[in-house]
Amino acid sequence: MRARHLLAAAALIGSPALAATGQTATALGQAQAMIISPIIAVSLNDLDFGSLTSSRFASGSVTVGSEGGATYAGGTSPACAGGGACAGVAPARFLVSGEPGRSYTVNAPSAISASGTLVSGGSAPSLAIDALEVHLASHAGSVTSIGELDEKGEDRISVGGRLNVPAGTAPAHYRATLTIMVTYS
Amino acid sequence: MVASLACGTSPALAAAPSATVSADQALRFGSFFTDTSGTRTVSATGSVTGSAIVPLTGTAPGPAQFTFTYDRGNNANTNYSLLIAVLVPGAASQISGGVTGTIASFDTDLPGVSALVPGQTAQVTLTGCQRRICSRTFRVGGTLQVARTSGGAELAIPVPIVVTVLAEL
C-alpha cells in the first residue's frame, strides 16, 4: 500500500513533463509574383502620303491603307513618275514589345491635323487627316484595338489614313504627329 | 503491484509530443507591372493594395496558408492551450535579372498578432485544444517591394516559418 501511494504521486508530478516546450517545427512557404516587363511601341516608319498634286477647282484626298497601297480621289493625283503611287507612300508602322503571350490594347486617334510649310515660305493652312485605321499583325485580316504579343513578346502595328486636300491647296510640306498608346489588357 | 499501476496510468505510456507545420498555399502577389519600383500588399485577410504598380490579369492574389499541428502525445481528454512562438527568420528576397523583390513585413491572422517582423518572434496562445491532436490553420500576408531596372521576372521567394511550442497551458 505504501508503494502504491508513492507511484501515484510520481505520476502526478511527472505530467507537466508531457508539455512539449521547445518543440520546433519549420515549414518552407513561398511567395510568388509575376512582374511584367513594360510594353513599349517604337516607330519603325512614318505614315507617308507621298507627293501629290491637287486641283485648283476640286477637293480630293489620298488614302493610304493600313496594309499598304494608296488610292487617290477627287482632285488629287500622285506626283510621281508613271502616275502610280509614289515609292515612299506607306502606312505608319510600330513595333510593340512586351511580355510574351500577353494581350494589349492600342489607342490611336481617329483624326489628326497636319500643319504645313509653304514651299515659298511661311505657314500653310493645316490639312485634316482622318479615317485613321489601325491594323495589328496579331490579328491579320481584321481591324481591332486588341492585340497579342507573340512568343518573342512582339507585335506590329500599322496605321493608315486619309489626307484631305481642299481645292487650290498651295504647294507645301505637311507634317503631323501621330501618337499611339499601348497598354496591357 | 507496481506493474498494475504502471499499466493503469496512461501518461506514463504517452508518446513524445511533437509539432509540425505545413505550407498549404503560397503567398500570391499576382501579376503586375511597375516602371521602376512599386509595392503590392496582400493581407492575411486577402485584401490587396498597391502603390506605383499596374495590376494585370493572371494568378489571383491571396495570402499564404500554413497549418500548425501539435500532437500532445497522449489521449487525455482535457482542455488545454498552447503558447507558441512564430518566427519568420529573415527578410525574404529574390533577385531575378533586372527585378528585385523583397518582402520586408508580414501579417497574419493568428490571434493577438498583427505583424510578423522578420527576425522577431511573435508569441501566440492557441486556445480550445482538447484532443490529442490540436491543429490550427493560419494565413500570412505581406508587402512585396519591387525594384525594376529592366525586363520582367517570375519571382518565387522562399518564406520559411518556424513555430516553437513554448508551453502547454
Mean pLDDT, each 10-residue run in order, chain A (185 residues): 38 36 88 93 93 92 91 89 68 94 92 92 93 88 81 94 94 92 90
Q: Say yes or no for a CB contact (<8 Å) between A22 and B164.
A: yes
B97 touches chain A (CB under 8 A): no
Q: Where are the beta strands (DSSP E) in chain A?
A: 23-36, 40-45, 52-54, 60-64, 70-74, 76-78, 92-97, 103-107, 112-118, 123-136, 146-148, 154-165, 172-175, 181-184
Q: Is the dihedral of CA B5, B9, B12, B13 positive or negative?
A: positive
Neighboring chain B residues of A105 at a CB cutoff of 8 Å: none
Residue of chain A whose Cα is closest to the Cα of B73: A18
Provide ipTM, 2 decimals: 0.86
Q: Say yes or no for a CB contact (<8 Å) between A32 and B31.
A: no
Q: How far is residue A94's CA from residue A82's CA, in Å, rounded to a whole number?
A: 30
Q: Establish if B49 belongs to a structural domain.
A: yes
Q: How far is residue B107's CA from residue A49's CA, in Å, rounded to a whole number?
A: 60
What is the domain partition of chain A in residue ranges?
37-184
Show which of residues 4-23 on chain B sit within 8 Å of chain A, judged by CB atoms. Answer: 5-6, 9, 11-12, 14, 16-23
Q: Establish if B6 belongs to a structural domain.
A: no
Q: How far is residue B24's CA from residue B42's CA, in Å, rounded to a whole number?
A: 17
Q: Say yes or no for a CB contact (<8 Å) between B2 and A20.
A: no
Q: Establish if B9 belongs to a structural domain.
A: no
pLDDT tens, position by position, B74-83: 877 788 899 9
**Cα separations (Å) of A68 from A72, A84, A116, A158?**
13, 14, 24, 9
Q: How far is residue A117's CA from residue A75's CA, in Å, rounded to a whole number?
A: 21
Task: Please name the residue that has the C-alpha cell 489607342.
Answer: A107
CATH at B19: 2.60.40
Shortest CA gap B72–chain A (Å): 7
Q: Establish if B8 belongs to a structural domain.
A: no
pLDDT tens, position by position, B38-59: 999 999 999 999 999 999 888 8
Neighboring chain A residues of B116 at a CB cutoff of 8 Å: none
Shortest CA gap A80–chain B (Å): 45
Q: Give me the number of domains chain B comprises.
A: 1
Q: Establish if B5 belongs to a structural domain.
A: no
Q: How far is residue A159's CA from residue A108's CA, in Å, rounded to a whole number?
A: 9
Which residue in B20, B22, B27, B31 has the most chain A C-beta atoms within 10 A of its own C-beta, making it the best mutation to test that interface?
A: B31
Q: Say yes or no for a CB contact (<8 Å) between A29 and B159.
A: yes
Blockwise average pLDDT, block size 10, chain B, 169 residues: 44 74 96 93 96 90 95 83 91 92 92 89 91 91 95 93 91
Which SS3 state, helix, strand or coil, does residue A130 take?
strand
Q: Say yes or no for a CB contact (<8 Å) between B2 and A7.
A: yes
Q: HSE, CB side, 13 Å, CA atoms: give it for residue A158.
A: 17
Domain of B71?
A: 14-168
